[in-house]
């Protein structure tokens, strides 16, 4: 087992996921639980995650120094490096400039952590503070143009630290670095990971018992898999609702409902609710407030319709990135509210079932393939729960929605024409709320500016612009 100490990183769970992919058990704990967890679980190694704090701040999140007295290898990542430097005799200070995104790191491969790696790696940074003096016994094993101490190695005490994030797929050889720590340094053994679909079904069946459940379908892979699992658990006692919020893309509602009725046996009912959603969003411009209102409206619409069939349970396709962005761990910063996590009102009449809550997007797709869910659902582009409302800067109106729908359909049409749709994570239009001057048919035009975003990702935890693709 590898013990991961979570200091509030947005990617702490992703570290665990990467180690789990190596076939090794993980357990994630808070800093205050770390020492007792080592005594209880006897892990082969410890990973200290990143986090939003500064180690020299008055209320800095530190760790009991006893953690470094155990004869167990330790790997510090980002804040974990700074913490090790700070608590083991080194020094940390604010950087000259913030470093976010990709950069090149020159590494020394004479230590076990970087064994069999090339001397130069493209890595993913996300920090402002930096170590300016290594702790006693540690040698600098990596540097970038702006950060002298980007990696530390102490082979004698089996303590290692890196300022960049090996867990995100934008870091080259990130999995290899973690594998070196887990296997070459901690001497763990790998066991093949398999999805136990039947145990997931049994868990849902046990929770719902003889009651009825409703599922919130969006057409995306997350809610689709959640519904498919639940139907296999309770059969016709599941009723799926698709809420037409009026915030969907062009022709999307009809296409989604048609595909569900063609490919799945569960009952799908369409709730027309465009009027109430637009009414509640009137004069609202803040994106976080939009998400909250959509979450509130969504659950009230669901409650009203679920009462008619006597359903006590609400099944949702919540996945772990939703939880993280809605501040689902104790020390994590809130990124944005998801309408099915932080966007739900505190008081509602449902017991919530979230069978995919601990999954990442690519894991959900793997699970869908194992369950033989049709490709039309698996490869559908990610679309936010609040719909086009969060792709409109400013107030949401019917006129803006119509413009954005047309623009978005053109973007998707062109991507599909180029046979790039399945190679791209997301491609979409944004209503910027800014007007600009153009020329049409030799005449001056003054109209709305539409931005186009095309991005790539794997697990929804990090993303980058798509720069070059060929069909």
The one-character DSSP state at 182 is: I
Q: Which residues does 390 contact at the CB level (< 8 Å), separation at least 6?
A: 287, 290, 291, 384
Among this protein's residues, is 240 annotated catalytic?
Answer: no
Among this protein's residues, is 331 annotated catalytic?
Answer: no
Instruction: Give the separation between CA 273 and CA 323, rounded to whole angstroms.
Output: 26
Instruction: Give the separation between CA 235 and CA 138, rounded to whole angstroms.
Output: 59
Residues belonging to the binding site for ATP are 218-224
The one-character DSSP state at 289 is: H
The distance from CA 388 to its chain's CA centroid, rounded to whole angstroms, is 20
Question: Per the residue annotation, which of 86, 165, 170, 339 is the catalytic one?
Answer: 165
The distance from CA 33 to its chain's CA centroid, rounded to whole angstroms, is 25
Helix axes 197-208, 221-234, angle to 10 degrees: 70
The distance from CA 2 to its chain's CA centroid, rounded to whole angstroms, is 22
The one-character DSSP state at 327 is: T
Q: Is 11 exposed, middle or buried (0-12, 13-18, 19+ CB in 10 A)?
A: buried
Question: Per the residue annotation, which of 86, 105, 167, 325 is the catalytic one?
Answer: 167
- DSSP string spanning 369-418? HHTT--HHHHTSPP--TTGGGGGBSS---HHHHHHHHHHHHHHHHHHHHT
Largest CA distance in the chain: 77
Question: Per the residue annotation, which of 13, 78, 105, 338 is the catalytic one?
Answer: 78
Instruction: Give the separation between CA 245 and CA 29, rounded to whole angstroms.
Output: 39
91: tokens are 């020094």
Q: Strand pairing partners for 419? A: none
Instruction: Give the separation between CA 189 and CA 48, rounded to whole angstroms.
Output: 21
The distance from CA 154 to its chain's CA centroid, rounded to whole angstroms, is 32
Among this protein's residues, is 165 annotated catalytic?
Answer: yes
List residues with catalytic annotation: 78, 165, 167
């Amino acid at each position: 087992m590898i013990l991961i100490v979570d200091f509030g990183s947005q990617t702490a769970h992703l570290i665990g996921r990467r180690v789990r992919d190596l076939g090794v058990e993980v357990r994630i704990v808070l800093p205050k639980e770390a020492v007792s967890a080592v005594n209880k679980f006897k892990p082969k190694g410890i990973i200290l995650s990143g986090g939003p704090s500064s180690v020299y701040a008055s209320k800095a999140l530190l760790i009991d120094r006893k953690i470094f007295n155990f004869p167990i290898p330790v790997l510090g990542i980002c804040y974990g490096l700074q913490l090790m430097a700070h608590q083991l005799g080194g020094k940390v200070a604010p950087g000259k400039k913030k470093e976010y995104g990709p950069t090149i790191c020159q590494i020394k491969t004479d230590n076990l952590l970087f064994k069999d790696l090339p001397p130069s790696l493209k890595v993913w940074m996300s920090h402002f503070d930096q170590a300016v003096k290594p702790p006693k016994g540690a040698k600098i094993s990596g540097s970038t143009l702006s950060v002298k101490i980007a990696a530390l190695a102490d082979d004698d005490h089996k303590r290692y630290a890196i300022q960049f994030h090996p867990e995100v797929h934008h870091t080259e050889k990130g999995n290899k670095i973690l594998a070196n720590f887990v296997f070459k340094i901690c001497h763990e053994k790998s066991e093949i990971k398999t999805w136990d679909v039947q145990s997931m079904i049994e868990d849902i069946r046990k929770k719902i018992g003889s009651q009825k459940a409703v599922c919130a379908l969006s057409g995306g892979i997350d809610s689709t898999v959640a519904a498919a699992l639940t139907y296999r658990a309770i059969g016709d006692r599941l009723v799926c609702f698709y809420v037409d919020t009026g915030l969907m893309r062009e022709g999307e509602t009809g296409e989604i409902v048609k595909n569900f009725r063609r490919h799945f046996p569960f009952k799908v009912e369409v709730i027309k609710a465009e009027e109430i959603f637009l009414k509640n969003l009137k004069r609202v411009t803040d994106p976080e407030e939009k998400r909250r209102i959509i979450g509130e409206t969504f659950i009230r619409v669901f409650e009203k319709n679920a009462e008619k069939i006597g359903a006590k349970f609400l099944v949702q396709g919540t996945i772990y990135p939703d939880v993280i962005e809605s501040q689902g761990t104790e020390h994590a910063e809130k990124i944005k509210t998801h309408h099915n996590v932080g966007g739900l009102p505190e008081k509602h009449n449902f017991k919530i079932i979230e069978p995919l809550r601990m999954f990442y997007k690519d894991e959900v797709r793997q699970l869908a393939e194992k369950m033989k869910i049709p490709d039309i659902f698996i490869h559908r582009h990610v679309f936010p729960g609040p719909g086009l409302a969060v792709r409109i800067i400013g107030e949401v109106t019917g006129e803006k929605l119509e413009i954005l729908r047309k623009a978005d359909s053109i973007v998707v049409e062109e991507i599909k024409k180029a046979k790039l749709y399945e190679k791209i994570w997301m491609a979409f239009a944004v209503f910027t709320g800014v007007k600009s001057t153009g020329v049409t048919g030799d005449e001056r035009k003054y109209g709305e500016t539409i931005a186009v975003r095309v991005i790539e990702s794997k697990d929804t935890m990090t993303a980058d612009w798509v720069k070059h693709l060929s069909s």
